[in-house]
Chain A
Amino acid sequence: MNAQMEDNKIIALYFERSEDAIAESQAKYGKYCYKIAKNILSSHEDAEECVSDTWIKAWGVIPPQKPKRLSAFFGTITRNLALNRMESFFAEKRGGVILPILDELSEILSADGEDEVVDAIVMKEAINTFLASLPTQVRKIFLQRYWYVRSVKEIARDFNLTENHVRVILHRTRSDFKTHLANKGVCL
């Protein structure tokens, strides 16, 4: 078994309905998906189960889907599974990073409290156009914080910045994001 099998070969295994598809997925992306789940959930076991569920779900959708970027595809499945599980937990079972992140995200929310159903397509377009407008490093820091749910300390270490510098970047970017959403007419 090649632990670093190319993505197109892994996808081919799914199409062939070969059981090696899951083993190869686990070997190449298991740690990556686990880290995403563990950042959201405090429990090692729940994070592991999310990863296992990821392969089951992937098995169910490939084919007909043929992901272009397998890491992001698996990561998104794991992320959504972990968020589903997190929402059913009481606060004490949530990951240590998640609570401050939720606090930070509250800054982006609209203060007027009006109820509005936000269309997913509108939201997708708004988020992606905003991210595309950011400098590369800022975009990576922003996504590592709110997509990968990483701690400020880990991000600072990765980018060779101080934690305070990372916090300032995140704060400014959140503020810009809020403005961008308002301009797009997206209220949460």
Chain B
Amino acid sequence: MKEEKMLRAFSLVDDDLVEKAAPREQKPKIPFWWKRLAYVAVAACLMLAVVLPIAFMGGDNDSVPVISKLDDTTQNADETAPMVSAGDTLPLPADTQFVTTQSAVDTAKPAPDVTKQPIDVGVGPLDAYKDSEYFSLIEMLDALLSESEIDLPPSQPTAPDIAPSGVTNDFSGSLTGADSIQRSDTHIFCLKDEKLEAYTVSGHDFVCVGAFDVGDMSEFSLLDGGKKVLLLRSSSIWTKLLLLDVSDPACMKELRRVRITGRLCSSKLTDAGLVLATNYTVWEAPEYDNPTSFVPYMQYDGGEANHLPMEDIILPTDKLLGLDYAVIYSLDPDTLTLQSRKAILGSGAAKITENYVFIHSWHSTTLANTLRRYTDLYCFDYQDGVLTYRGDLTLEGRVSSLDEKDGILRVVADVAYRNSYEHYSGVSFYCVSLQSVRVVAELKEFTENGQTVQSVYFDGDTVYIGTQHATSSPTSIYLVDFSNHANILCVTPDEPIARSISLAAFGDGAVLGIGYGNRDFVGGPYPHTIGIFKREGDKAVSVAKYRVENAAEATGHLPSSLDREYYLDPERQLVGFAVRTKNEDNSVKTEYILLHFDGKTLSEFACVEIGGDPCAVHTLLLDGKLHVFGDKEHRVISV
């Protein structure tokens, strides 16, 4: 960004001006009566000739495990971009008619026949599509970094209005422009324009049967078989929850509203409860006589603040940190009533599994001029919704991904050490027994020097690890087989096929990788590249690859592959996503591409123009039809 370049340019300011402008160190104000109390206490101590321990956060305590911090860089399959999986179909009225070029709609869901023309012509509101002028500021930054002159592509002309011709309007009342869409057995719920809306499908109509104002909530989950909806919003300061009764979608009711201090970093709904992990930072100098200013708390329905008790805070033994907390909450999902909570003084990342919560924080330590990274890992279980501390350990490296199975925690970590003479970065893998909270197996520094973790996918007793040398270099896929703890194997990677690859399950031992391939020119867009990876002997190979041609994403730098929704259907071996592409006249359009893997190749099953922002596209599978909802348009693809 140019703004970042401007900010960096300030580093050119003369040293003497910088030094003279240095801010004065601020000390937190202590109320006068605290000082007076302290003097009295000291005087009493001297009189009694007893030295009293001063109780403060960080004082000695017999049971104070070291605190870990949260810094989650995990990109597990279950933590990637919202990927819509093919679920059960929504029952539709028996007389539903669809306009389709196929001779009959096949509702038995076999593998799709790619020889047919699968594109249905159902279209929602037929607004004209206009795209803004396409110009990337990043291209200028690239030019500066490469220190060479480049010919920038010309500014893209405005796309012409698209006249609706030869298109049949099959569906009305579409779910276009929604922030997110989910379905229960009976209804479709969508979050749109600060409302939760409920729809049914009646013939070719999406009919809105109810709506509820939810304010700035940004995501939701269906609970209790679709009878309740839990909405959530998290900022750097607050996490807000709203529980609604939607058993009658025409008459939705608010059940409970909760506000929790801190930013949400992980959550999971399990049989034991709704578990949330937050990071709470005290931004301002605390007022010591006002706990609300420095102790995490929660509020129900705008009521009294319920502060975290001191006895639920785990303190470090060997360091006093700033006022950051990693707080874990276990709530009753039916009522959001608090069941249990624990906190660690210090921020960190969280991983919540079916039975455990792991808080981890990393730090760098310089010894003999060599800088090394370590992670402190804290383990909790939460049987019956009650959080219990299990223990902690320190691993070398910065934890990138965690996964727990059968009482063994599997850890992938970025390892780095450097001094003036040498520099190493690579990846290590650990197995930690949760019985003893100790490492029982490890494979250390198994990648080439210079590699850092890009993405991780655990598959049983193997783990696929995507690594890269630098931010924009291709991703190598390593496979680690730890089925035998005494002999952990590392399968060597094949030639890289793309950058910034995220990994996901794709059935039958295959792993799907979504990333970005080489761009056609310096400063140009990186095209989406999809790959299927499998283990073949001692290699993790790419067995199929697909690259989007004529890519025209509105950026010249490497974007995150998690910036949009992907449709994954391992059963049908389909993967779908929206992307911007260029026409022959260099105008830009948005297309939805649905790919099919036949065991050997990835090919286009369907490609439909949808319009609008590709990152705002959502999909929904209904009775063998994939509904694709854009900003303003709606397409239906028979699968």
Cβ-defined contact, A72 with B11, below 8 A:
no
- A143 in the interface (beta carbon within 8 A): yes
Q: A76-B15, A115-B140, A147-B10 are in contact. Are A105 and B3 (CB under 8 A)?
A: yes
- A48 in the interface (beta carbon within 8 A): yes
- A101 in the interface (beta carbon within 8 A): yes
Cβ-defined contact, A69 with B7, below 8 A:
no
Give the complex CA separation of A53 and B371 in angstroms: 8
Contacts of A44 in B (CB 8 A): 69, 321-322, 324, 346-347
Interface positions of A from 99 to 114, Cβ below 8 Å from B: 101-103, 105-106, 108-109, 113
Interface positions of A from 48 to 96, Cβ below 8 Å from B: 48-49, 52-53, 55-56, 59-60, 67-69, 71-73, 75-76, 79-80, 83, 86-88, 90, 96
Contacts of B322 in A (CB 8 A): 44
Contact of A146 among B2, B7, B22, B147 (CB under 8 A): B7
Produce 1/0 per residue, B140-151, CB < 8 A to A.
100110010100
- A139 in the interface (beta carbon within 8 A): yes
Cβ-defined contact, B2 with A106, below 8 A:
yes
Contacts of B366 in A (CB 8 A): 22, 52, 55-56
Q: How far is the CB of A167 from chain B (nearest CB, A)?
A: 18
Contact of B71 among A45, A59, A86, A155 (CB under 8 A): A45
| Segment at the A interface, from B48-56, B357-365, B427-435 | B357-365
Cβ-defined contact, A128 with B13, below 8 A:
yes
Cβ-defined contact, A139 with B140, below 8 A:
no
Q: Which of B16, B140, B147 has the most CB of A within 10 A?
A: B140
Interface positions of B from 1 to 15, Cβ below 8 Å from A: 1-15
Cβ-defined contact, A72 with B19, below 8 A:
yes
Give the complex CA separation of A117 and B163 in angstroms: 42
Cβ-defined contact, B15 with A67, below 8 A:
yes
Cβ-defined contact, A127 with B10, below 8 A:
yes
Contact of A140 among B12, B21, B321, B347 (CB under 8 A): B21
Contact of A115 among B26, B143, B420 (CB under 8 A): B143
- B320 in the interface (beta carbon within 8 A): no
- B449 in the interface (beta carbon within 8 A): no
Q: A102-B4, A105-B7, A127-B10 are in contact. Are A52 and B371 (CB under 8 A)?
A: yes
Q: How far is the CB of B278 from chain A (nearest CB, A)?
A: 14
Q: How far is the CB of A6 from chain B (nearest CB, A)?
A: 15
Contacts of A45 in B (CB 8 A): 69, 71, 361-364
Q: How far is the CB of B92 from chain A (nearest CB, A)?
A: 39
Cβ-defined contact, A127 with B371, below 8 A:
no
Interface positions of A from 15 to 60, Cβ below 8 Å from B: 19, 22, 31-32, 42-46, 48-49, 52-53, 55-56, 59-60
Cβ-defined contact, B139 with A115, below 8 A:
yes
- A182 in the interface (beta carbon within 8 A): no
Give the complex CA separation of A144 and B21 in angstroms: 7
Cβ-defined contact, A106 with B13, below 8 A:
no
- A154 in the interface (beta carbon within 8 A): yes
Cβ-defined contact, A188 with B13, below 8 A:
no
Q: Which of A45, A56, A120, A147 has the most CB of B within 10 A?
A: A45
Give the complex CA separation of A114 and B69 in angstroms: 45
Contact of B6 among A109, A115, A124, A158 (CB under 8 A): A109
Chain A residue nearest to B559 (CB atoms) is A90
Produce 1/0 per residue, B318-329, CB < 8 A to A.
000110100000
Contacts of A169 in B (CB 8 A): none
Give the complex CA separation of A157 and B471 in angstroms: 39
Q: A69-B19, A72-B18 are in contact. Are A59 and B364 (CB under 8 A)?
A: no
Q: How far is the CB of B605 from chain A (nearest CB, A)?
A: 31
Give the complex CA separation of A56 and B71 in angstroms: 23
Chain A residue nearest to B375 (CB atoms) is A45
Q: How far is the CB of A66 from chain B (nearest CB, A)?
A: 12
- A13 in the interface (beta carbon within 8 A): no
Cβ-defined contact, A19 with B369, below 8 A:
yes
Q: A45-B69, A76-B11 are in contact. Are A56 and B17 (CB under 8 A)?
A: no
Give the complex CA separation of A117 and B145 in angstroms: 9
Contact of B23 among A76, A108, A120, A144 (CB under 8 A): A144
Chain A residue nearest to B557 (CB atoms) is A87
Chain B residue nearest to A140 (CB atoms) is B21
Chain A residue nearest to B146 (CB atoms) is A117
Chain A residue nearest to B322 (CB atoms) is A44
Chain B residue nearest to A151 (CB atoms) is B283
Contacts of B5 in A (CB 8 A): 188
Contacts of B283 in A (CB 8 A): 96
Q: How far is the CB of B185 from chain A (nearest CB, A)?
A: 34
Contacts of B11 in A (CB 8 A): 76, 79-80, 83, 147
Q: A44-B322, A113-B135 are in contact. Are A102 and B19 (CB under 8 A)?
A: no
Contacts of A147 in B (CB 8 A): 10-11, 13, 18, 21
- B247 in the interface (beta carbon within 8 A): no
Chain A residues proximal to chain B, CB less than 8 Å: 19, 22, 31-32, 42-46, 48-49, 52-53, 55-56, 59-60, 67-69, 71-73, 75-76, 79-80, 83, 86-88, 90, 96, 101-103, 105-106, 108-109, 113, 115-118, 120, 123-124, 127-128, 131-132, 139-140, 143-144, 146-148, 150, 154-155, 157-158, 188
Q: List 22 A-B contacts (CB under 8 A).
A: A22-B366, A45-B361, A52-B364, A53-B371, A56-B418, A68-B16, A71-B18, A88-B471, A102-B1, A105-B6, A108-B6, A109-B3, A109-B6, A113-B137, A117-B143, A117-B149, A127-B13, A131-B13, A131-B17, A143-B21, A188-B5, A188-B6
Other CB < 8 Å A-B pairs besides A44-B322, A144-B21, 13 of them?
A: A19-B368, A19-B369, A44-B321, A52-B366, A56-B371, A59-B369, A71-B19, A106-B3, A109-B3, A113-B135, A115-B139, A146-B10, A158-B26
Enumerate the 8 nearest inter-chain pairs by beta-carbon distance, A residue then B residue, closest first: A72-B15, A143-B21, A124-B12, A72-B18, A102-B3, A69-B15, A140-B21, A105-B6
Chain B residues proximal to chain A, CB less than 8 Å: 1-26, 69, 71, 135, 137, 139-140, 143-144, 147, 149, 152, 236, 283, 321-322, 324, 346-347, 361-364, 366, 368-369, 371, 373, 418-420, 471, 560
